[in-house]
Protein backbone atom coordinates (compact mmCIF):
# COMPACT_ATOMS: atom_id res chain seq x y z
CA UNK A 1 0.00 0.00 0.00
CA UNK A 2 2.75 2.39 0.99
CA UNK A 3 4.53 1.26 -2.15
CA UNK A 4 1.66 2.45 -4.32
CA UNK A 5 1.70 5.88 -2.71
CA UNK A 6 5.39 6.48 -3.18
CA UNK A 7 5.81 4.76 -6.50
CA UNK A 8 5.13 7.78 -8.76
CA UNK A 9 7.62 9.87 -6.79
CA UNK A 10 10.29 7.21 -6.99
CA UNK A 11 9.69 6.61 -10.68
CA UNK A 12 10.09 10.30 -11.31
CA UNK A 13 13.38 10.39 -9.40
CA UNK A 14 14.67 7.44 -11.42
CA UNK A 15 13.72 9.14 -14.67
CA UNK A 16 15.41 12.34 -13.50
CA UNK A 17 18.44 10.38 -12.24
CA UNK A 18 17.95 12.27 -8.97
CA UNK A 19 20.03 9.84 -6.91
CA UNK A 20 20.44 12.18 -3.98
CA UNK A 21 16.76 12.55 -3.20
CA UNK A 22 16.17 8.91 -3.95
CA UNK A 23 18.71 7.90 -1.32
CA UNK A 24 17.11 10.29 1.16
CA UNK A 25 13.65 8.89 0.44
CA UNK A 26 14.91 5.35 0.94
CA UNK A 27 16.63 6.13 4.20
CA UNK A 28 13.26 6.94 5.73
CA UNK A 29 11.57 3.74 4.65
CA UNK A 30 11.42 0.44 6.44
CA UNK A 31 13.35 -2.31 4.59
CA UNK A 32 10.22 -4.44 4.17
CA UNK A 33 8.29 -1.52 2.66
CA UNK A 34 11.17 -0.73 0.34
CA UNK A 35 11.33 -4.37 -0.68
CA UNK A 36 7.63 -4.17 -1.54
CA UNK A 37 8.24 -1.15 -3.75
CA UNK A 38 11.16 -2.83 -5.50
CA UNK A 39 9.03 -5.88 -6.25
CA UNK A 40 6.63 -3.75 -8.26
CA UNK A 41 9.36 -2.29 -10.46
CA UNK A 42 10.59 -3.70 -13.75
CA UNK A 43 13.75 -5.73 -13.11
CA UNK A 44 15.95 -3.11 -14.76
CA UNK A 45 14.74 -0.32 -12.49
CA UNK A 46 14.82 -2.57 -9.44
CA UNK A 47 18.47 -3.46 -10.15
CA UNK A 48 19.29 0.22 -10.64
CA UNK A 49 17.60 1.29 -7.41
CA UNK A 50 19.26 -1.58 -5.65
CA UNK A 51 22.71 -0.51 -6.78
CA UNK A 52 22.39 3.02 -5.41
CA UNK A 53 21.25 1.86 -1.99
CA UNK A 54 23.77 2.21 0.83
CA UNK A 55 25.77 -1.01 1.33
CA UNK A 56 24.13 -2.21 4.54
CA UNK A 57 20.63 -1.16 3.55
CA UNK A 58 20.97 -3.14 0.31
CA UNK A 59 21.89 -6.27 2.23
CA UNK A 60 18.95 -5.95 4.61
CA UNK A 61 16.42 -5.22 1.84
CA UNK A 62 17.70 -8.11 -0.22
CA UNK A 63 16.60 -10.54 2.47
CA UNK A 64 13.05 -9.19 2.31
CA UNK A 65 12.74 -9.71 -1.44
CA UNK A 66 10.95 -12.77 -2.75
CA UNK A 67 13.22 -15.59 -3.84
CA UNK A 68 12.32 -15.07 -7.48
CA UNK A 69 13.46 -11.46 -7.54
CA UNK A 70 16.57 -12.30 -5.46
CA UNK A 71 17.54 -14.84 -8.10
CA UNK A 72 17.20 -12.32 -10.90
CA UNK A 73 18.93 -9.51 -9.02
CA UNK A 74 21.90 -11.69 -8.11
CA UNK A 75 22.52 -12.30 -11.79
CA UNK A 76 22.58 -8.58 -12.50
CA UNK A 77 24.89 -7.54 -9.66
CA UNK A 78 28.56 -6.75 -10.04
CA UNK A 79 30.96 -9.01 -8.12
CA UNK A 80 31.76 -6.50 -5.43
CA UNK A 81 28.12 -5.89 -4.60
CA UNK A 82 27.37 -9.61 -4.79
CA UNK A 83 30.01 -10.30 -2.13
CA UNK A 84 28.49 -7.66 0.09
CA UNK A 85 24.89 -8.78 -0.24
CA UNK A 86 25.44 -12.51 -0.08
CA UNK A 87 27.84 -12.35 2.83
CA UNK A 88 25.33 -10.33 4.81
CA UNK A 89 22.45 -12.74 4.25
CA UNK A 90 21.36 -15.05 7.07
CA UNK A 91 22.72 -18.52 6.28
CA UNK A 92 19.25 -20.10 6.09
CA UNK A 93 17.99 -17.52 3.59
CA UNK A 94 21.20 -17.92 1.61
CA UNK A 95 20.67 -21.66 1.41
CA UNK A 96 17.25 -21.18 -0.10
CA UNK A 97 18.64 -18.70 -2.62
CA UNK A 98 21.42 -21.06 -3.64
CA UNK A 99 18.90 -23.82 -4.29
CA UNK A 100 17.01 -21.67 -6.76
CA UNK A 101 19.91 -20.29 -8.77
CA UNK A 102 21.12 -21.78 -12.05
CA UNK A 103 24.30 -23.82 -11.37
CA UNK A 104 26.70 -21.33 -12.99
CA UNK A 105 25.31 -18.49 -10.85
CA UNK A 106 25.47 -20.68 -7.73
CA UNK A 107 29.15 -21.17 -8.43
CA UNK A 108 29.64 -17.43 -8.71
CA UNK A 109 27.76 -16.84 -5.45
CA UNK A 110 29.68 -19.53 -3.57
CA UNK A 111 32.87 -17.97 -4.91
CA UNK A 112 31.83 -14.65 -3.41
CA UNK A 113 31.53 -16.03 0.11
CA UNK A 114 34.20 -15.68 2.76
CA UNK A 115 35.78 -19.05 3.70
CA UNK A 116 33.78 -19.29 6.93
CA UNK A 117 30.50 -18.37 5.20
CA UNK A 118 31.25 -20.94 2.54
CA UNK A 119 31.67 -23.63 5.14
CA UNK A 120 28.28 -22.76 6.59
CA UNK A 121 26.53 -22.73 3.21
CA UNK A 122 27.97 -26.14 2.28
CA UNK A 123 26.93 -27.54 5.63
CA UNK A 124 23.36 -26.31 5.30
CA UNK A 125 23.09 -27.59 1.76
CA UNK A 126 23.93 -31.13 2.84
CA UNK A 127 20.51 -31.81 4.39
CA UNK A 128 17.49 -33.15 2.48
CA UNK A 129 15.11 -30.61 1.00
CA UNK A 130 12.45 -29.35 3.41
CA UNK A 131 14.34 -30.77 6.41
CA UNK A 132 15.19 -28.80 9.54
CA UNK A 133 18.83 -28.71 8.37
CA UNK A 134 17.86 -26.49 5.48
CA UNK A 135 16.05 -23.97 7.64
CA UNK A 136 18.52 -23.68 10.49
CA UNK A 137 21.08 -20.96 10.91
CA UNK A 138 24.35 -21.66 12.73
CA UNK A 139 24.42 -18.08 14.00
CA UNK A 140 23.48 -18.53 17.63
CA UNK A 141 25.32 -17.91 20.90
CA UNK A 142 26.23 -20.80 23.20
CA UNK A 143 27.58 -20.48 26.73
CA UNK A 144 29.01 -23.02 29.20
CA UNK A 145 27.06 -24.32 32.20
CA UNK A 146 29.67 -23.18 34.75
CA UNK A 147 29.63 -19.51 33.69
CA UNK A 148 27.92 -17.03 36.03
CA UNK A 149 25.07 -14.90 34.72
CA UNK A 150 27.39 -11.88 34.59
CA UNK A 151 30.04 -13.83 32.69
CA UNK A 152 27.45 -15.14 30.28
CA UNK A 153 26.11 -11.62 29.63
CA UNK A 154 29.56 -10.25 28.94
CA UNK A 155 30.28 -13.25 26.69
CA UNK A 156 27.07 -12.44 24.79
CA UNK A 157 28.07 -8.78 24.49
CA UNK A 158 31.36 -9.90 22.98
CA UNK A 159 30.15 -12.67 20.66
CA UNK A 160 26.49 -11.87 20.12
CA UNK A 161 26.86 -9.58 17.14
CA UNK A 162 25.53 -11.22 13.97
CA UNK A 163 23.53 -13.86 15.80
CA UNK A 164 20.12 -14.52 14.24
CA UNK A 165 18.49 -14.07 17.63
CA UNK A 166 19.72 -13.43 21.14
CA UNK A 167 16.32 -14.08 22.67
CA UNK A 168 17.41 -17.61 23.47
CA UNK A 169 20.94 -18.58 24.48
CA UNK A 170 22.14 -22.18 24.40
CA UNK A 171 24.16 -24.08 26.96
CA UNK A 172 26.56 -26.65 25.50
CA UNK A 173 29.33 -28.82 26.91
CA UNK A 174 32.93 -28.85 25.69
CA UNK A 175 32.01 -31.29 22.87
CA UNK A 176 29.27 -29.00 21.57
CA UNK A 177 26.46 -31.18 22.89
CA UNK A 178 23.32 -29.27 23.75
CA UNK A 179 22.59 -29.22 27.49
CA UNK A 180 19.73 -26.73 27.76
CA UNK A 181 18.45 -23.41 26.54
CA UNK A 182 18.07 -20.18 28.43
CA UNK A 183 16.10 -17.05 27.70
CA UNK A 184 18.14 -13.88 27.50
CA UNK A 185 15.43 -12.34 29.68
CA UNK A 186 16.16 -14.93 32.39
CA UNK A 187 19.85 -14.01 32.28
CA UNK A 188 19.04 -10.32 32.57
CA UNK A 189 16.65 -10.91 35.46
CA UNK A 190 19.06 -13.24 37.34
CA UNK A 191 21.44 -12.41 40.18
CA UNK A 192 24.80 -11.73 38.45
CA UNK A 193 26.57 -14.40 40.53
CA UNK A 194 24.19 -17.26 39.72
CA UNK A 195 25.55 -20.11 37.61
CA UNK A 196 24.10 -20.65 34.15
CA UNK A 197 23.35 -24.29 34.96
CA UNK A 198 21.16 -23.23 37.88
CA UNK A 199 19.27 -20.70 35.78
CA UNK A 200 18.03 -23.12 33.18
CA UNK A 201 14.66 -24.69 33.92
CA UNK A 202 15.98 -28.10 32.88
CA UNK A 203 13.43 -28.32 30.08
CA UNK A 204 14.95 -28.68 26.67
CA UNK A 205 13.48 -29.42 23.28
CA UNK A 206 15.51 -30.03 20.20
CA UNK A 207 14.75 -30.75 16.58
CA UNK A 208 16.74 -33.42 14.73
CA UNK A 209 18.35 -31.95 11.61
CA UNK A 210 16.51 -34.51 9.50
CA UNK A 211 13.03 -33.63 10.83
CA UNK A 212 10.69 -32.52 8.06
CA UNK A 213 8.79 -29.25 7.88
CA UNK A 214 5.54 -30.50 9.35
CA UNK A 215 7.41 -31.96 12.30
CA UNK A 216 9.24 -28.83 13.30
CA UNK A 217 6.20 -26.62 12.74
CA UNK A 218 4.32 -28.92 15.13
CA UNK A 219 7.17 -28.67 17.68
CA UNK A 220 7.00 -24.87 17.63
CA UNK A 221 3.24 -24.95 18.11
CA UNK A 222 3.59 -27.27 21.02
CA UNK A 223 6.43 -25.60 22.87
CA UNK A 224 5.72 -21.88 22.38
CA UNK A 225 9.39 -20.95 21.88
CA UNK A 226 10.77 -18.22 19.64
CA UNK A 227 13.69 -20.43 18.58
CA UNK A 228 14.46 -24.15 18.84
CA UNK A 229 17.89 -25.79 18.58
CA UNK A 230 18.70 -28.29 15.83
CA UNK A 231 20.91 -31.22 16.77
CA UNK A 232 22.54 -34.17 15.04
CA UNK A 233 22.01 -37.77 16.08
CA UNK A 234 24.66 -37.46 18.81
CA UNK A 235 22.99 -34.44 20.40
CA UNK A 236 25.60 -32.00 19.08
CA UNK A 237 24.05 -28.64 18.38
CA UNK A 238 24.18 -27.60 14.72
CA UNK A 239 22.05 -24.47 14.60
CA UNK A 240 18.74 -22.92 15.46
CA UNK A 241 15.43 -22.43 13.70
CA UNK A 242 13.64 -19.19 14.50
CA UNK A 243 9.89 -18.83 14.75
CA UNK A 244 9.60 -16.16 12.05
CA UNK A 245 10.87 -18.70 9.54
CA UNK A 246 8.46 -21.26 10.95
CA UNK A 247 5.52 -18.91 10.44
CA UNK A 248 6.51 -18.50 6.80
CA UNK A 249 6.93 -22.26 6.43
CA UNK A 250 3.57 -23.00 8.05
CA UNK A 251 1.82 -20.53 5.76
CA UNK A 252 3.59 -21.91 2.69
CA UNK A 253 2.65 -25.47 3.70
CA UNK A 254 -1.01 -24.50 4.10
CA UNK A 255 -0.99 -22.72 0.74
CA UNK A 256 0.48 -25.79 -0.93
CA UNK A 257 -2.06 -28.07 0.70
CA UNK A 258 -4.96 -25.83 -0.30
CA UNK A 259 -3.80 -25.67 -3.91
CA UNK A 260 -3.29 -29.42 -4.04
CA UNK A 261 -6.66 -29.99 -2.39
CA UNK A 262 -8.20 -27.89 -5.15
CA UNK A 263 -6.76 -30.37 -7.64
CA UNK A 264 -3.61 -28.78 -9.03
CA UNK A 265 0.13 -28.77 -8.51
CA UNK A 266 1.19 -26.14 -5.99
CA UNK A 267 2.43 -22.87 -7.50
CA UNK A 268 5.91 -21.72 -6.58
CA UNK A 269 5.07 -18.02 -6.49
CA UNK A 270 2.06 -15.91 -5.52
CA UNK A 271 -0.85 -16.09 -7.99
CA UNK A 272 -0.16 -12.82 -9.80
CA UNK A 273 3.59 -13.43 -9.96
CA UNK A 274 3.31 -16.91 -11.46
CA UNK A 275 4.03 -16.84 -15.19
CA UNK A 276 0.83 -17.62 -17.10
CA UNK A 277 2.18 -20.68 -18.92
CA UNK A 278 3.64 -22.06 -15.74
CA UNK A 279 0.25 -21.81 -14.05
CA UNK A 280 -1.51 -23.41 -17.01
CA UNK A 281 0.94 -26.32 -16.87
CA UNK A 282 0.32 -26.88 -13.16
CA UNK A 283 -3.43 -26.82 -13.68
CA UNK A 284 -3.66 -28.66 -17.00
CA UNK A 285 -1.65 -31.63 -15.70
CA UNK A 286 -4.14 -32.56 -13.01
CA UNK A 287 -7.17 -31.53 -15.10
CA UNK A 288 -6.04 -34.01 -17.75
CA UNK A 289 -5.43 -36.78 -15.23
CA UNK A 290 -8.91 -36.18 -13.83
CA UNK A 291 -10.34 -36.00 -17.33
CA UNK A 292 -8.86 -39.37 -18.26
CA UNK A 293 -10.22 -40.79 -15.00
CA UNK A 294 -13.62 -39.31 -15.69
CA UNK A 295 -13.63 -40.91 -19.16
CA UNK A 296 -14.37 -44.16 -17.40
CA UNK A 297 -17.78 -42.70 -16.56
CA UNK A 298 -18.54 -42.61 -20.29
CA UNK A 299 -17.37 -46.21 -20.56
CA UNK A 300 -19.46 -47.25 -17.56
CA UNK A 301 -22.49 -45.43 -18.90
CA UNK A 302 -22.11 -47.05 -22.32
CA UNK A 303 -22.37 -50.33 -20.47
CA UNK A 304 -25.76 -49.22 -19.07
CA UNK A 305 -26.98 -47.65 -22.33
CA UNK A 306 -29.73 -50.26 -22.58
CA UNK A 307 -31.13 -49.36 -19.15
CA UNK A 308 -31.07 -45.66 -19.98
CA UNK A 309 -32.87 -46.28 -23.27
CA UNK A 310 -35.61 -48.22 -21.48
CA UNK A 311 -35.87 -45.67 -18.66
CA UNK A 312 -34.61 -42.19 -19.55
CA UNK A 313 -35.85 -41.11 -16.13
CA UNK A 314 -32.72 -42.78 -14.70
CA UNK A 315 -30.49 -40.32 -16.54
CA UNK A 316 -32.13 -37.38 -14.76
CA UNK A 317 -30.59 -38.24 -11.39
CA UNK A 318 -27.07 -39.03 -12.54
CA UNK A 319 -25.58 -35.61 -11.72
CA UNK A 320 -27.41 -35.48 -8.38
CA UNK A 321 -26.12 -38.87 -7.28
CA UNK A 322 -22.53 -38.66 -8.41
CA UNK A 323 -22.09 -35.13 -7.10
CA UNK A 324 -23.40 -36.14 -3.67
CA UNK A 325 -20.69 -38.80 -3.54
CA UNK A 326 -18.11 -36.25 -4.64
CA UNK A 327 -19.24 -33.71 -2.05
CA UNK A 328 -19.13 -36.13 0.86
CA UNK A 329 -15.73 -37.34 -0.35
CA UNK A 330 -14.46 -33.79 -0.58
CA UNK A 331 -15.52 -33.10 3.01
CA UNK A 332 -13.85 -36.23 4.30
CA UNK A 333 -10.61 -35.76 2.41
CA UNK A 334 -10.14 -32.12 3.45
CA UNK A 335 -10.83 -33.01 7.08
CA UNK A 336 -8.31 -35.84 7.10
CA UNK A 337 -5.61 -34.14 5.03
CA UNK A 338 -5.53 -31.19 7.40
CA UNK A 339 -5.59 -33.37 10.51
CA UNK A 340 -2.65 -35.35 9.16
CA UNK A 341 -0.79 -32.16 8.23
CA UNK A 342 -1.08 -30.60 11.69
CA UNK A 343 -0.35 -33.98 13.30
CA UNK A 344 -3.72 -34.28 15.00
CA UNK A 345 -3.91 -37.69 13.36
CA UNK A 346 -1.12 -40.19 12.81
CA UNK A 347 -0.89 -42.99 10.28
CA UNK A 348 -1.78 -45.47 13.01
CA UNK A 349 -5.19 -43.82 13.54
CA UNK A 350 -6.53 -45.08 10.22
CA UNK A 351 -8.71 -47.82 11.65
CA UNK A 352 -10.41 -45.51 14.16
CA UNK A 353 -10.98 -42.95 11.42
CA UNK A 354 -12.39 -45.63 9.12
CA UNK A 355 -14.96 -46.73 11.69
CA UNK A 356 -15.93 -43.13 12.34
CA UNK A 357 -16.22 -42.28 8.66
CA UNK A 358 -18.25 -45.35 7.73
CA UNK A 359 -20.72 -44.38 10.42
CA UNK A 360 -20.68 -40.73 9.24
CA UNK A 361 -21.25 -41.89 5.69
CA UNK A 362 -24.26 -43.99 6.64
CA UNK A 363 -25.83 -41.16 8.66
CA UNK A 364 -25.14 -38.48 6.03
CA UNK A 365 -26.21 -40.78 3.18
CA UNK A 366 -29.45 -41.62 4.98
CA UNK A 367 -30.26 -37.94 5.45
CA UNK A 368 -29.73 -37.22 1.75
CA UNK A 369 -31.51 -40.45 0.79
CA UNK A 370 -34.56 -39.45 2.78
CA UNK A 371 -34.63 -35.96 1.29
CA UNK A 372 -34.19 -37.40 -2.21
CA UNK A 373 -37.00 -39.92 -1.66
CA UNK A 374 -39.40 -37.21 -0.51
CA UNK A 375 -38.35 -34.92 -3.36
CA UNK A 376 -39.50 -37.53 -5.89
CA UNK A 377 -42.64 -38.98 -4.28
CA UNK A 378 -44.01 -35.59 -3.21
CA UNK A 379 -43.23 -33.76 -6.49
CA UNK A 380 -46.52 -32.39 -7.91
CA UNK A 381 -45.95 -33.59 -11.48
CA UNK A 382 -44.28 -36.84 -10.37
CA UNK A 383 -46.15 -39.19 -12.73
CA UNK A 384 -45.61 -36.95 -15.78
CA UNK A 385 -41.90 -36.46 -15.09
CA UNK A 386 -40.83 -39.72 -13.44
CA UNK A 387 -43.38 -42.12 -14.94
CA UNK A 388 -45.86 -44.48 -13.29
CA UNK A 389 -43.17 -46.27 -11.27
CA UNK A 390 -42.02 -43.10 -9.52
CA UNK A 391 -42.00 -44.79 -6.11
CA UNK A 392 -39.57 -47.46 -7.31
CA UNK A 393 -37.43 -44.74 -8.92
CA UNK A 394 -37.41 -42.91 -5.59
CA UNK A 395 -36.30 -46.10 -3.84
CA UNK A 396 -33.45 -46.56 -6.32
CA UNK A 397 -32.31 -42.96 -5.89
CA UNK A 398 -32.33 -43.08 -2.10
CA UNK A 399 -30.59 -46.46 -1.83
CA UNK A 400 -27.94 -45.19 -4.25
CA UNK A 401 -27.47 -42.00 -2.25
CA UNK A 402 -26.73 -43.97 0.93
CA UNK A 403 -24.26 -46.18 -0.94
CA UNK A 404 -22.58 -43.38 -2.85
CA UNK A 405 -22.22 -41.04 0.14
CA UNK A 406 -20.81 -43.83 2.27
CA UNK A 407 -18.40 -44.81 -0.47
CA UNK A 408 -17.36 -41.18 -0.99
CA UNK A 409 -16.74 -40.69 2.71
CA UNK A 410 -14.72 -43.88 2.89
CA UNK A 411 -12.56 -43.13 -0.15
CA UNK A 412 -12.09 -39.51 0.88
CA UNK A 413 -10.95 -40.41 4.37
CA UNK A 414 -8.79 -43.43 3.58
CA UNK A 415 -6.98 -42.16 0.48
CA UNK A 416 -4.87 -39.60 2.44
CA UNK A 417 -3.76 -42.38 4.83
CA UNK A 418 -2.91 -44.64 1.91
CA UNK A 419 -0.85 -41.90 0.23
CA UNK A 420 1.06 -41.17 3.41
CA UNK A 421 1.66 -44.89 3.92
CA UNK A 422 3.18 -44.99 0.43
CA UNK A 423 5.44 -42.07 1.35
CA UNK A 424 3.49 -39.63 -0.84
CA UNK A 425 1.88 -36.34 0.13
CA UNK A 426 -1.62 -36.96 1.54
CA UNK A 427 -2.75 -33.63 0.04
CA UNK A 428 -2.57 -35.25 -3.41
CA UNK A 429 -5.92 -36.86 -2.45
CA UNK A 430 -7.54 -33.71 -3.76
CA UNK A 431 -11.27 -33.10 -3.68
CA UNK A 432 -11.58 -33.48 -7.49
CA UNK A 433 -9.49 -36.66 -7.44
CA UNK A 434 -11.73 -38.24 -4.81
CA UNK A 435 -14.81 -37.04 -6.71
CA UNK A 436 -13.56 -38.68 -9.90
CA UNK A 437 -12.92 -41.98 -8.14
CA UNK A 438 -16.38 -41.81 -6.64
CA UNK A 439 -18.11 -40.83 -9.91
CA UNK A 440 -17.34 -44.08 -11.68
CA UNK A 441 -18.24 -46.26 -8.72
CA UNK A 442 -21.30 -44.09 -8.06
CA UNK A 443 -22.66 -44.84 -11.51
CA UNK A 444 -22.12 -48.55 -10.97
CA UNK A 445 -23.91 -48.41 -7.60
CA UNK A 446 -26.78 -46.45 -9.13
CA UNK A 447 -27.37 -48.64 -12.16
CA UNK A 448 -26.95 -51.83 -10.16
CA UNK A 449 -29.59 -50.64 -7.70
CA UNK A 450 -31.81 -49.69 -10.64
CA UNK A 451 -31.50 -53.01 -12.39
CA UNK A 452 -32.41 -54.87 -9.18
CA UNK A 453 -35.32 -52.67 -8.04
CA UNK A 454 -36.77 -51.98 -11.47
CA UNK A 455 -36.34 -55.54 -12.83
CA UNK A 456 -39.40 -56.49 -14.84
CA UNK A 457 -41.01 -53.09 -14.45
CA UNK A 458 -39.40 -51.35 -17.40
Q: Which stretch binds its own copies (CB under 8 A): 41-49, 80-88, 255-263, 416-424?
A: 255-263
Give the range of 43-51, 128-136, 171-179, 299-307 binding its own copies by CB under 8 A: 299-307
Q: Say whether residue 67 binds its own copies (CB under 8 A).
A: no
Q: Which of the stretches 50-58, 128-136, 228-236, 239-247 binds its own copies when contact is defined by CB under 8 A?
A: 239-247
Q: Which of residues 75-134 bind its own copies (CB under 8 A)?
A: none
Considering only 136, 237, 257, 400, the residue that binds its own copies (CB under 8 A) is 257
Site for its own copies in 129-168 (CB under 8 A): 153, 156-157, 160-161, 165-167
Q: Using CB under 8 A, count the residues that bind its own copies.
A: 113
Kindly give the interhelix angle for 43-52 and 55-64, rounded to the nearest 10 degrees: 140
User: x/- contact string, 361-390, with its own copies (CB under 8 A)?
Assistant: --xx--xx--xx--x---------x-----
Q: For residue 376, how many C-alpha atoms fall within 13 Å in the half-sphere facing its CB?
A: 24
- The one among 94, 134, 213, 225 contacting its own copies by CB under 8 A: 225
231 binds its own copies (CB under 8 A): no
Residue 287 CA to residue 266 CA, distance in Å, equals 13
Shortest distance in whole angstroms from residue 321 CB to its own copies:
9
Which helix (H) or strand (E) segment is 214 a member of?
helix 213-223
Name the minimum Å distance from CB 15 to its own copies: 25
H runs (alpha helix) in 266-389 = 276-303, 305-310, 313-316, 318-341, 350-377, 382-386
Strand order from edge to edge, sheet including 142-143: 142-143, 168-172, 178-183
Span from 42-50, 107-115, 233-241, 337-345 in contact with its own copies (CB under 8 A): 337-345
CB atoms within 10 A of CB 101: 18
2 binds its own copies (CB under 8 A): no
344 binds its own copies (CB under 8 A): yes
Instruction: Say whether residue 302 binds its own copies (CB under 8 A).
Output: yes
Q: Is 317 in the site for its own copies (CB under 8 A)?
A: yes
Instruction: Please state, in angstroms and rounded to a whole number, the distance separating the CA atoms of residues 82 and 117.
Output: 14
DSSP string, 22-50: HHHHHHTS-HHHHHHHHHHS-HHHHHHHH
Residue 131, SS3 per DSSP: strand
| Residue of the chain from 48, 67, 150, 184 that contacts its own copies (CB under 8 A) | 184
Question: Does residue 43 belong to the site contacting its own copies (CB under 8 A)?
Answer: no
Contact 142, 171 (CB under 8 A): yes
- CB 57 → its own copies: shortest distance, Å? 12
- E-state strands within 135-185: 142-143, 168-172, 178-183
The residue count for the chain: 458
Task: List the interface residues with its own copies, window 405-444 (CB under 8 A).
Answer: 405, 430-432, 435-436, 439, 443
Quote the CA–CA distance of 406 and 359 in Å, as a whole number. Answer: 8
Interacting residue with its own copies among 286, 350, 417, 447 (CB under 8 A): 286
Binding test (CB under 8 A) with its own copies, winner from 283, 377, 382, 425? 283
Q: Is position 21 an interface residue for its own copies (rule: CB under 8 A)?
A: no
Q: Quick one: angle between helices 79-88 and 103-111, nearest 10?
A: 80
| 183 versus 420: smaller Cβ distance to its own copies | 183
Integer angstrom CA distances of residue 326 from 240, 406, 416, 418, 443: 44, 11, 15, 19, 12
In the complex, minimum distance from the CB of residue 82 to its own copies, in angstroms, rounded to a whole number: 23
**Any contact of residue 335 with its own copies (CB under 8 A)?**
yes
Strands 227-231 and 237-242: antiparallel
Decide whether 18 or 33 has the Cβ nearer to its own copies.
33
Is residue 34 part of the contact set for its own copies (CB under 8 A)? no
Name, in order, each residue with C-beta under 8 angstroms of 283's C-beta and a sequence gap of 6 or more: 264, 265
Comparing CB distances to its own copies, the nearer of 131 and 436 is 436
What's the CA dihedral at 216, 221, 224, 227 to 10 degrees? Answer: 30
Amino acid sequence: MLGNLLRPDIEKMIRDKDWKHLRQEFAQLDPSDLAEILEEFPLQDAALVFRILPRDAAAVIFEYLPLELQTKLVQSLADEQLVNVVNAMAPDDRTRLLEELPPEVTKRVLGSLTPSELKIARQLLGYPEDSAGRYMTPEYVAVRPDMTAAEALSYIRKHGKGAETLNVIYVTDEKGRLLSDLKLAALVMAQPTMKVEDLSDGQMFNIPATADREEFVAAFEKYDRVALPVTDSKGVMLGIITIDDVLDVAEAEATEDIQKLGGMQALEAPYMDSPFLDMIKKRAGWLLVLFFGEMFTATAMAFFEGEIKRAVVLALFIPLIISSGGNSGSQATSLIIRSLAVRELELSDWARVMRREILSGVVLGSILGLVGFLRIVLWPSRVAVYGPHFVQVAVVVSISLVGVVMFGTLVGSMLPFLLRRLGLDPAAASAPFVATLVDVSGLIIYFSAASIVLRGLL
